[in-house]
Amino acid sequence: MANSLLTDASRRLDRALQYVSISEDTAERLKSPKASLKVSIPVRMDDGSLRVFEGYRVHFDDTRGPTKGGIRFHPQVNLDEVQSLAFWMTFKCAALNLPFGGAKGGVTLNPKELSKAELERLSRGYIDAIANFIGPDTDIPAPDVYTNPMIMGWMMDQYSIIRQQRSPAVITGKPVALGGSLGRSTATGTGAFYVLEAMMAHLLGQPSDQANKPAQTVAVQGFGNAGSVVARLLFDAGYAVVAVSDSHGGIYTPQGLDIPSIQQFKADTRAVQAVYCDGTVCSLVDHKVITNEELLQLEVDILIPAALENQITAANADAIRARYIFEVANGPISADADDILDAKGITVFPDILVNAGGVTVSYFEWVQNRSGLYWTLEEVNQRLKQQMVTAAETIWQIAQTHQTSMRTAAYVQALTSLGAAMDARGTRADYVGEKG
């Protein structure tokens, strides 16, 4: 479809192609996914009824290694969305120089409507349906929106039952007790923080230069796993996190929120409230209740969309007033909105760089599972910081060299890696004139 998410995602390549030369073979292979699977998952519900859910798994490209990508449980999951996310994963892994291709999966449902037992039956049923499509050397799923370590543990266990052998490397993001990596559950937010700190040093000068300047203000849309982690790290580092939100709406105070208290309150009540907690006692503080749309339009230094895709589009991009945007969600800004934000002088740091901490530590988990040697949290975070900062600095230099956006620079980096891997298998130039 002409206005599909995948079409919109692919438009980003056109700008990058101005700065990198790739073969016809590479361009042709990146036009469409390698394989797409749609399955039906029958689940016996707690009341005895039977419901059938639609599930998907897409391999976009596996030139650089087995495909890698999360599984999301969400009412909006469809084939176009999953293909788009697999496309982004392909470029994310290439931009971070991880030995993976891109994949994604999902099931169309509202997981909040299912009991834990129903979720387990659904998760195991999904693996039953896609077992021949995944594997430690083929395609390695991970958690995504509304999936978590427990669900990944069920999925790994079901795959192991099917294969009649323990297979921890087939799924990442598992509980640590089942072979998961320390630091994986917080990796997306932690990796985003490392990128943000490295890039703000370029934008504002070294931290020592900022001693007498006011704290940078931050708004975080999406106070979930990734958003809450990066918000906490920024709070601890001295940033003024003035607004956060979840799917129900947001809270704002120009003086800055107490993020540890909000995290504690949400863990206890599942609600986001502007509170200050002293031990187990939490008290409300002055704040303004805002919508997610209003949060995006706040006048802040740093905006962090950490919810779902297409939150900033041509319809609202002109109202965005942040100076810098760090995309912690996948695809939160449409291609049309990119042009508007650029014209306004807003610097966008793209998802395929900023939120790559999750897949990076998933790679670490896969390596640990296959080697049987497990790392400390300090080792994981040290390796994560090195990987994220190295990629960020490389992409920053590409952007400066070509005087282009960070998004285009990230795609240039990814296309260079993908092109080299694809061309190594032979291109038209290698075969023309070979006869005789």
List active site positions: 104
What residue type is assigned to position 410 of the chain? A
What residue type is assigned to position 242 of the chain? V
Q: What angle do CA 39, 41, 46 make, to 5 degrees?
A: 170
Q: Give the H/E segment covering residue 68.
A: strand 67-74
Answer whether 41's CB lies under 8 Å from 125's CB: yes
69: β partners: 141
- Measured in degrees and rounded to the nearest 5, phi and psi for residue 145 equal -60, 125
Residue entry with tokens 């080697």: 371
| Alpha-carbon span 387 to 143, nearest angstrom | 21
**Where would I find the beta strands (DSSP E) of 230-280?**
240-246, 249-252, 275-278
Candidates 87, 67, 73; CA nearest to 6 is: 87
Q: DSSP string of 326-351?
A: E--SSS-B-HHHHHHHHHTT-EEE-H
Torsion, CA 304, CA 306, CA 307, CA 309, rounded to 10: 80
Largest Cα–Cα distance in the chain? 84
Contacts of 299 (CB under 8 A, 6+ apart): 321, 322
| Alpha-carbon span 140 to 152, nearest angstrom | 11
Q: What angle do CA 254, 260, 266 make, to 5 degrees?
A: 95
